[in-house]
Amino acid sequence: MGGKEFAKELNKVSIRFSGDSGDGMQLTGTLFSDASALYGNDISTFPDYPSEIRAPQGTIAGVSGFQVHIGKDKVNTPGDYADVLVAMNPAALKANLKWVKRGTIIVDVDSFDEKHILKAGYTEDPLNDRSLESYQVIHAPITSQTKQVLMDSGLDSKAIIRSKNMFALGVSYWLFDRPLKYTEQYFEKKFHKKPELIEANKKVLREGYIFAQNIHALTPYRIEPANIEKGIYKNINGNTATAWGLMAAAEKMQLPLFLGSYPITPSSDILHELSHYKELGVKTFQAEDEIAGICTTIGASYAGNLAVTNTSGPGLALKGEAIGLAIMMEIPIVIVNVQRGGPSTGLPTKTEQADLMQALYGRNGESPCVVMAASTPSNCFDFAFAACKIAVEHMTPVILLTDGFLANGSQPWKVVNTNTLPHINTRIVKERIGNNTPFIRDNATLARNWVIPGTKELMHRVGGLEKDYETGNPSLIPSNHHKMCVTRAEKVKRVAQFVPPLEIHGNEYGDLLVVGWGGTYGHLLSAVDELLIQGEKITLAHFNYINPLPINAAEVFGKFKKIIVCELNLGQFVNYLRMTLPEFTYLQYNKIEGLPFIVEDLKEAFLKHL
């Protein structure tokens, strides 16, 4: 298909699909990302959906969006603002206009009737009131054309309407110069039992493509395949990557994987994903609540599985008491917490980083455990794997923090061959040799041994009461309690010797060190990168390991005049740094709106300190 002579060559460009919850925008966005990734671009995605299942059709509350950023170079974020907006109805236009650069807007003109215009909260038709003058607006008859195309398809009218998103996708494909074949293959696989749907969808997709080509109003973008590391790639979101990282660790340890879980947005997809792989011996236990989620996990760990529980903020609050038990028992478990907007039910479908303090301190007594955070959708794989490795090698609960942005956002992932993953040394002891009892500690890590029921001669009891340092029996002796509290703290502290040092991006010395942690990595990196290109003396130090901090953190901090800590909360990591490395003075940059950072805002903020 032709018409591409005037394509604009670009390094990066982003598109946002938006429509009613029922319009299939999440699928449309996903297909667009997949096609882009398969074409060879680097991508980053950001789904933005309402917390209501199905808010009233046609209203702002019901708008569902999906932004995709594609690039020839490394793409770190889904893009602050979209270059192109697809709006399937007036509400989608209204809700998303603030997220669009002065670029192109493709609207389903058929949906701009009076009823829908009013429902969206407009008083006048925005297509006719000059409010969009600075945009290039394409009036696409998406609904009517779809109906037209499928008139004779034999599909019922509901099914016909349901495929209108494919028309929009076709338009987008032409505009971004994407091949259709990947999506066509998707139809073939997805609908192999309903061939009529394969044909229908293909037809609508193509009609959209042709429409775009024919109207001669659009100039296509061309984004060459990215220059990325060789290898096999797969598009992956943070939740899937987490699930797979856990499975990889279990395979490495040759232990069954057990997940004790209670559904909660945005963490449930980890449960859904893992529930599929019975063939790999994965057991998912959907518990009656989050407490049972972690308690079954503790039982499973004692019984010798690699045991994990996943949740989100309010669920983590419920697990506090049991995390304390696992700490006291020195049982290896992993707690994955996908952070969302709080407090309380808060903004359940939005992203935030405000569970750090509760991860560090949300339980009674002196109860330290390892806390770490993934920082991109795909490295959720790596950190889930690492969390398991630390848990079993150090015999401690590990809390892995991700967030709604990472969980649902997707990125190409260079497929890892499990053979190349590091070895995991479980501390499983299978027979009594010398004094190798359940409560003897390793000199380097202070971890005790892991003795699994069924092992002869090493029967032992674990529990929540303070235990004697030597025998593991309950003990009320004052000095022993002090020793045990210090030992538990030291055990966690020593993990620092086994994790990679803090890396920096930028100059080794400089004026401003930008500090971040977890899911804000892409945005901070983009901002710092852009300022580095402008010649600023700025550096990024991004943390994945929080408790304990990497051993070289103080050394890194010492080389900068100013340190600014950036977080999607009111200042939790910065306060943790104040406690842990009180010798430095910290500036803060905080945002708490349920949304990721905006690169432009970050740059502006950083420049003030440069």
Ligand X SMILES: Cc1ncc(C[n+]2csc(CCOP(=O)(O)OP(=O)(O)O)c2C)c(N)n1
360 binds, among another protein, a copy of itself, ligand SF4, none (CB under 5 to 8 A by kind): a copy of itself
Note whether 341 binds ligand X by CB under 6 A. Answer: no
Name which of 54 and 192 has its Cβ closer to ligand SF4: 54
27 belongs to the binding site for a copy of itself (CB under 8 A): no
Kindly report the number of other CB atoms within 10 A of residue 449's CB atom: 19
Closer Cβ to another protein, 232 or 579, answer by number = 232
In our burial notation (b when 16+ CB lie closer than 10 A, e otherwise), range 356-365 reads bebbbebbee
Stretch 151-190 residues interacting with a copy of itself (CB under 8 A): none
Report in angstroms how near the CB of residue 29 gets to another protein at its nearest. 15
**Least distance from C-beta 312 to ligand X, angstroms?**
8
Distances (CA, A) of 106 to 85, 168, 456: 6, 8, 70
Residue 514 interacting with another protein (CB under 8 A): no
If the CB atoms of residues 57 and 136 are measured against ligand SF4, the closer one turns out to be 57
Does residue 53 belong to the site contacting a copy of itself (CB under 8 A)?
no
Least separation in angstroms between residue 52's CB and ligand SF4 is 8
Give dist(CA 48, CA 374) in Å, integer. 20
Kindly state the tokens that stand for 297: 């996990």
Contact partner at residue 3 from ligand X, another protein, a copy of itself, none, CB < 5 to 8 Å by partner kind:
none
**Residue 439 interacts with another protein (CB under 8 A)?**
no
Residues 516-575 that bind a copy of itself (CB under 8 A): 569-570, 575
The CA radius of gyration of the chain, in Å to the nearest whole number, is 26
- Say what the alpha-carbon torsion angle 116, 119, 122, 127 is, to the nearest 10 degrees: -10
**Closest CB 168 distance from a copy of itself, rounded Å:** 24
58-77 footprint of a copy of itself as x/- string (CB under 8 A): ---x----------------
For the CA atoms of 30, 34, 35, 40, the dihedral, rounded to the nearest 10 degrees, stands at 140
Torsion region of 171: left, alpha or beta (phi above 0 gives left; psi -120 to 50 gives alpha): alpha
Interface residue with a copy of itself among 482, 503, 555, 600 (CB under 8 A) is 482
Q: Is 344 in the site for another protein (CB under 8 A)?
A: yes
The nearest distance, CB 580 to a copy of itself, in angstroms, is 8
Nearest C-alpha neighbor of 356 from the set 573, 66, 91: 573
Q: Which residues bind ligand SF4 (CB under 6 A)?
A: 53-54
How would you classify the pairing of strands 587-590 and 560-567?
parallel
Q: How many angstroms separate the CA atoms of 85 and 126, rounded?
A: 15
Site residue total, a copy of itself (CB under 8 A): 64
Minimum distance between the CB of residue 427 and ligand X, rounded to whole angstroms? 29
Residue 374 as a binder of another protein (CB under 8 A): the answer is: no
Q: What are phi and psi of 528, to 5 degrees?
A: -65, -45
Distance set, CA 599 to CA 268, 544, 606 (Å): 29, 20, 11
Residues 399 to 438: which contact another protein by CB under 8 A?
415-419
Instruction: Please tell me whether residue 461 binds a copy of itself under the rule CB under 8 A.
Output: no
